[in-house]
Amino acid sequence: MPPLKTSSPLQRVFGLRIAENVIQLAVASPDSDGIYDLQIDEVACTAPHGWFTAEGTAALQEALHQLSARWEMRRKQVAVSIDGDFCVTRIAMGARHRVDEEIETLHSRVQRYLSLGPGEKIVGHSRESLTAGTDYAVTAVVNRVVIEAIYEAFRRENLDVMWAEPSLVSIARLLHRVQASDDQPILVADGSGGQWDIGIAHQGRLLLDYRPAAARSADGLREALLGHVERLRRFCDRHREVAAGDLKRLLICGSTHTVAGAVIAFAGQSEIEVAVFSAPEIPDLYRIDANSLLVDHTAAVAAVLPLMESPPEGSIPDMLVEVRRDSDLTFTAKMLRLTAPLLVAAAILLPMFTMVASEQDKLEHLHAITIDLDQQLVAARQSIQTLAAKRTLVNHLQRIEQQTLEADWNDLFVRITGCFPPEAKLNELRWQSGQDIVLDGTITEESLVFDMISYLRQLPEVREVALQGTSNEGLDRQIQFQIRLSTQPAKSDSSVKETPHA
C-alpha cells in the first residue's frame, strides 16, 4: 500500500459513503483555529436496482457530478467508504506467523466469494503491529467490475480519491475516537444498505465482519444476534485473544426508518443492550449543526474522519490499489492526456469535410434502397406471424417438459460437496420430505461452518439454508454440525419465452 497522503490544515476535505441506493457526502471545511465545520449532503439513486447496474452507472456519474459541482470537489481529497453489500471484510490477528498463514489462505479463497457476484475479485490490504509479537491485518475483498466502476466515475469528475475502505472499518475507527469501544469489545450494526452489516469493534479496530443472511430485517437482526451472541463471545476470547466480557452492548446506525425498526425489535429482551449511534459531536476536531447529528449520517462522518486526522500508516485497507492509474503522472502529462483526444478528433474531422458532397449522393441512393426494404419488411411480417403461431406450440411443450422434470440429484450432490472446505467431513446426507436435504458432518473450526453456509446459499438450486446446530463433544475437538437445505423445484435447461405476435 502506498504511503497515506494527509490533508493540508487549511484544505477542505470530503468523505463519501456509497450505500446500495444513496451516496452521502461529509464536507469538512477548516477554519482559522483548525477546527472543521462539518456539513452533510446526499443524493439518492434514481435507478430502480441501485448504482451498479446498467442504468445505475449513469446515475452514479450524475450523482457525483451534482455533488462535485455543488461543493467544488474537483482536485480535492476524497475518502470513500463502501457498504458491506459490495465488499467482504476479513480480519487476521495474533502471532505474525499465524497472521501470514491466515492471509495466504484467504487469498486462495477470494475468488469463491459468490456473494460479490460473478467475475474476478480483488483485495485491499492493511497490516500493523500491535505489540512485539502480535499483528493485526484487514483484507477487504471486492468485485473488480464494481470497484472499477466506482474509480472510473471519480476519475471522470477529476476527484483526488485517497482510498476506498469498507464502511465498518471506518465506523470502528469513529467509535474509538469517541471512546465507545476502548474498555472491551462492542457490537456494531449498520443498516444503511440492503442487509445489516454486523461487526465487533475494539480500540478502533474491527475484530469481525459478520453478515448473516437472515439479517435483512430488524427481526432477522434480532434473531441472528440473540442466537449467536454466545459464539461471538467465544470467538473474541479464542480467536482474537481479547476478553469479550458479556459483549452485551450493540450500537446501531443506518437509515432512520431501519434503526427505529431495530430498536422496536430488540425491546423486551435483556440479552443485548441496544443504543442508537448517531453522528457524534467531537468539539476538539469539528463542529456540526444539531440538525445533522442524525443516525443516518454516522457512516458519512466516519468516512471523512481520517482526512481530518492523520491515520496510522498502513491502517487503511485501500480497495483501489489494483485499479488505480495515473497516480505518478505530472500535471503537464495529465493535461496532455486530456487534450490528446481533442487533437485526434480534429485530425479526423478536417478531412471529413471534403467528403460531404460525396455522402449526399450516397444518401439519394440509400433512399431508393429504403423503398425496396419497406417491401421486404411487409413480407417479413407475414413470415413472423406464421413463426409466432408455431412458437406458441413450442412454448406449450416446453411448459409440459418443465413441469415433469426431476432434479439431477447427483449433480446437486457434487455442487453441495464442492462448497465444503478441505477441513470439512460429510458423515451423512439424507433427503427428507419434499425438497429438504440434511447434511451431517464434522469440521475443525466453528468459524468455517459459517463460510460453508455462505457458499451453500449461493447455489442456484438451493432456496434456503438453515444451521440446525453444532456441538463439540468428541475427544478430537472436531466440531459436529447439522445443516438443512431446502432446494428449488427442478427447472428445464430450455428457457420458455413467450414470443409476441408481430
SS3 405: coil
pLDDT for position 451: 87
Place of cell 449522393: 361
Model confidence band, residue 348 (pLDDT cutoffs 50, 70, 90) = confident
CA dist., res. 459 & res. 413, Å (int): 11
**Structural contact between residues 462 and 479, judged by C-beta atoms closer than 8 angstroms:** no
pLDDT for position 161: 92
pLDDT at 501 over 50: no
pLDDT at 325 over 90: no
> Of 148-152, 443-447, 472-476, which one has max mean pLDDT?
148-152
pLDDT for position 502: 40
Strands 22-30 and 13-18: antiparallel
DSSP 290: G
pLDDT for position 474: 62
Which residues have CB under 8 Å from 469's CB, separation 6+?
481, 482
pLDDT at 7 over 70: no
Q: Between 14 and 413, whose confidence is greater?
A: 14
Q: Which three cell numbers stand for residue 38?
A: 462539518
pLDDT at 297 over 70: yes
CA dist., res. 14 & res. 71, Å (int): 9
pLDDT for position 406: 63
What residue type is 123 in one-letter code? V
pLDDT at 328 over 50: no
pLDDT for position 415: 86
Q: Per-residue pLDDT tens for 391-401?
A: 898 988 888 87
Tell me the CB-side half-sphere exposure of residue 401, using CA atoms within 13 A: 12
pLDDT for position 295: 85
Q: Between 71 and 133, whose confidence is greater?
A: 71
Q: What percentage of the chain has pLDDT greater than the value 70?
A: 89
SS3 222: helix
Q: Mean per-residue pLDDT for 317-330?
A: 73
Closest to 231 measured CA to CA, from 457, 453, 465: 453
Model confidence band, residue 475 (pLDDT cutoffs 50, 70, 90) = low
Domain coordinates in residue numbering, the chain: 13-328, 355-403, 409-487
CA dist., res. 273 & res. 285, Å (int): 29
Place of cell 476524497: 78
Q: What is the CATH number of domain 409-487?
A: 3.30.1360.100
Stated pTM of the model:
0.63
pLDDT at 6 over 50: no
Enumerate the β-bridge partners of residue 254: 191
Q: What percentage of the chain has pLDDT greater than the value 90?
A: 34
How remote is the C-alpha of 337 from its chain's centroid?
A: 32
**Structural contact between residues 287 and 37, judged by C-beta atoms closer than 8 angstroms:** yes
Q: Using DSSP, how many helices (H) and how many strands (E) does the chain show? A: 11, 18
CA dist., res. 264 & res. 479, Å (int): 35
SS3 391: helix
Percentage helix, strand, coil, to 5, in the chain?
Answer: 40, 25, 35
Strands 249-254 and 186-191: parallel
pLDDT for position 37: 92
CA dist., res. 60 & res. 258, Å (int): 23
Q: Per-residue pLDDT tens for 194-251?
A: 889 999 998 889 999 988 888 889 999 999 898 888 888 888 877 777 766 678 899 9
Which residues have CB under 8 Å from 12's CB, separation 6+?
27, 28, 29, 30, 71, 72, 76
pLDDT at 371 over 70: yes
Count the neighbouring beta carbons within 10 Å of the beta carbon of residue 129. Answer: 11
Count the neighbouring beta carbons within 10 Å of the beta carbon of residue 125. Answer: 18
Q: Which three cell numbers stand for residue 491?
A: 427447472
CA dist., res. 106 & res. 90, Å (int): 8
pLDDT at 188 over 90: yes
pLDDT for position 1: 38
Q: For residue 126, what is the enclosing H or E element?
A: strand 121-129
Model confidence band, residue 407 (pLDDT cutoffs 50, 70, 90) = low
- Length of the chain measured in residues: 502
**Structural contact between residues 60 and 51, judged by C-beta atoms closer than 8 angstroms:** yes
pLDDT at 113 over 70: yes
List own/partner pairs for 365-370 with CB under 8 A and 24 or more apart: none
